[in-house]
Structure 1
Amino acid sequence: MKHFFCVALLTVCIGFSTSAQIVNVESLRKVTDTSGWSGAASLNFALKRNVNDFLTISNNIHVQYKMNEHLVLFKNDIEFQKIEGARLENSGISHIRYNYRFHPRIAWEVFTQGQYNKVSLIDFRGLLGAGPRFKLSNSENYKFYLGTLAMYEHEEISDGVTPIQRTLRGSLYLSFSLYPTERISVVSTTYYQPRISQFSDYRISSQSSLLIDLFANFAFKTSYTFTYDAFPAVGIPNSQYDFTTGITYSFD
C-alpha cells in the first residue's frame, strides 16, 4: 500500500470534495503495474465554510481498470451538508476518464463529467474534454506531472440571473506526489482554468492531501482544498475552502 495513491493526472476539470467546483482526479489514480481492477472507497467528515459554516458527510467511490497502456477511471461521489444546524443540502459528481499512454512520459486523456451542487447554486455542470499529460520525473519517491487540455462546459445556475453557459475552457495543472516513507503519501495539485474567449473569467483550485497507512487496506486521509472562481453564481463568494478528514479503503 506504499503506493496507495498516485498523483498523476488529471487534467481537467476537476479537484475534489464534491462541493468544490473543480474535481481533483490526481487523488484517484492508483500506482500499479498489474492489469485488472482496483479502486477505493472512503467515508469523510468535513468542516467547511463558503456562504455559511457547515458540517459535511460524504461518500466517495472510484474504480479503475488497467490493461497495458490503457487505463479507465470511474468516480462517483455524493455529499450531504448540514448548514448551521438547519438546512440539509446535497451535491454529487460522476466522472469517467480514459487514458492512453503512447510514450513513457506522455499520455492522452479523454473525459466526461456531470455534477450538481445545491450550496453553490449549480443545478448542472457538464464537461467534455481531452488533452495531454506529461510526466516530469522518474523517481519512485517523488512524482511531478504537468498537463494542458481543452474542455467544453455546459452550466446551468439557479441564481435567477445567470443564463445557461456554453463555453470552452483551457485547463493547466501542476501535480506532485511525495512518498517520504512506506506508510506516508503527500499529494498536491493546482489547476488554472480560463475561459478561452475571456481570460478574466477563470477558476483556480489547489488541493493537498496527506495519507497515512493504518492497517491492511485502510488509510487515514486528510485534505485541504482552496478554490477561486472569478464569476460564481450571484450570492456565492469568489473563494471557498474545504478541510476534509476520513478513512479510505482500497483494493486491488
Structure 2
Amino acid sequence: MTKLGRIALTSLLAGASFQAAAIVPIDTKANPEDGWSGNVGLGLKGKSGSKDEQEYNVNFLLRNVKGERTALLLTDYNYAETNDKKDEDDLFVHGRWIENNFFRPMLDWELFAQYQYDEFDDLSSRKLAGTGVRWRFEDETENGKLHTSFGAGGFLEEEEAESTGEEDTNWRGNFYGKWVWDRNGEFPFSLYGRLYFQPVLDDLGDIRATGNGGIKFGITEDLALHVEAEVEYDSEPFDEADSTNVEYGVKLSYAFN
C-alpha cells in the first residue's frame, strides 16, 4: 500500500461513520478476466451514552468468468439495534448467469434468481426467477470510457407480508439500464448507475422501480471508497410498508482476483 493510500485509509477509519444501507452492489467491472474475482464491502457504525446504537452492513460481489460465460452472485445484509432493540434486519441475494454474445456480438442472454427479506419493510420474503436479453455498448474518449447496457425480460415472483402473512404471486416484466463511466486522468474515479422498471404483466398499474448509483474513488489498487444512494418505489406495497424508500451510504470495498 502506498503512503498516500495508508494516510487516506487511516483518515477514513478514524473520521468516517459508515452508514448501513441496503444498497444493492453494482458490478462496475465491464470486461473481467477469466477466473474468479469480486469485491467485499463492510460498514460499521456505533454510538453509546444516552442512546446506544449499533449498525452493521456486509456485502459482496463474486464472479466467475470462463470465455463467454459469466456467473455472478451479489449479496447485501444489514442489521441494526437501538438501545438493544432490533430496528433493521434485511438480506438481499441475487444470482445471475450470462452468456455473452449469445445471439450476436454485444447481445447477451441472462438467467437470474433472487431472494430477499426486509423485516421492517413488511417483507417476510420475496423469491423470483427469470430470464432476458442484454445489449452492451462501449464508447471511449480521451477523458475515459463509458460502458452502457440495456436489458429486457421477465420473471415470476412470490412475495409474503411480514405482518399478515399475505402472499402475492405475479409475472413481471423486467427492463433496466446500467452505465459505468471510468474517468482517466490524474485523479481517476468511476461514476455508475442503474435503473430497473418492473410492471406486473396483467396489471400495468402495479409497478416497482429501483434506481441506484454512486461514485467510486480508488485508495489503492484494490481498496476503494464508495458514496452511494438508492431509491425504491412500489405502487402497491403491503399494508405496513411505504411506497417509496430512500437510502444512502458510504462504504469501503476490497477487490480481489
Output the TM-score relative to the length of structure 1: 0.81
In terms of mean alpha carbon deviation, does 96-105 or 206-215 score higher? Answer: 96-105
SS in structure 2 opposite 1:119?
Answer: helix
Where does residue 256 of structure 2 map in the other structure?
Answer: 251
Where does residue 149 of structure 1 map in the other structure?
Answer: 153
Q: Distance in 2 between matches of 1:177 and 1:201?
A: 29
Where does residue 116 of structure 1 map in the other structure?
Answer: 117
Residue pairs, 1:8-157, within 5 angstroms? 19=22, 23=24, 27-28=26-27, 30-44=29-43, 56-82=55-81, 86-101=85-100, 102=102, 103-139=104-140, 141-157=145-161
Where does residue 165 of structure 1 map in the other structure?
Answer: 168
**Is it true that 1:232 corresponds to 2:245 in the alignment?**
no
Higher Cα radius of gyration: 2
The residue identity in structure 1 corresponding to 2:169 is R
Structure 1: which 5+ residue stretches go unaligned? Answer: 1-16, 47-53
SS in structure 1 opposite 2:183?
Answer: coil
CA displacement, residues 63-115 of structure 1 (integer Å, 9 cap, x when unaligned)? 10001100001123221133698433311122211000123211100011111
CA displacement, residues 206-244 of structure 1 (integer Å, 9 cap, x when unaligned)? 111100000131000011101111011213221110101
Q: Distance in 2 between matches of 1:216 and 1:195?
A: 43
Cα shift at 1:45: 5.4
CA RMSD of aligned residues (A): 2.3
Q: Distance in 2 between matches of 1:204 and 1:85?
A: 34
- Closer, same or farther in 2 for the Cα pair 1:157/1:31, shift >3 Å? same
The residue identity in structure 2 corresponding to 1:227 is E
Residue pairs, 1:192-231, within 5 angstroms? 192-231=197-236
SS in structure 2 opposite 1:250?
Answer: strand
The residue identity in structure 2 corresponding to 1:78 is Y
After TM superposition, where is structure 1 displaced by more than 4 Å over at least 4 residues in a row? 83-86
The residue identity in structure 1 corresponding to 2:94 is H
Q: Distance in 2 between matches of 1:212 and 1:97?
A: 26
Kindly indicate whether structure 1 or structure 2 has the higher relative contact order, using CA contacts under 8 Å at least 6 residues apart: 1
Cα shift at 1:18: 6.9
Where does residue 184 of structure 2 map in the other structure?
Answer: 181
CA displacement, residues 10-42 of structure 1 (integer Å, 9 cap, x when unaligned)? xxxxxxx8746xx56xx1253345210001000
Give the helix-richer structure, 1 or 2: 2
SS in structure 1 opposite 2:240?
Answer: coil
The residue identity in structure 2 corresponding to 1:169 is R
CA contact (8 A) 1:45 1:245 kept: no
Structure 2: which 5+ residue stretches go unaligned? Answer: 1-19, 46-52
User: Percent sequence identity over matched residues?
Assistant: 21
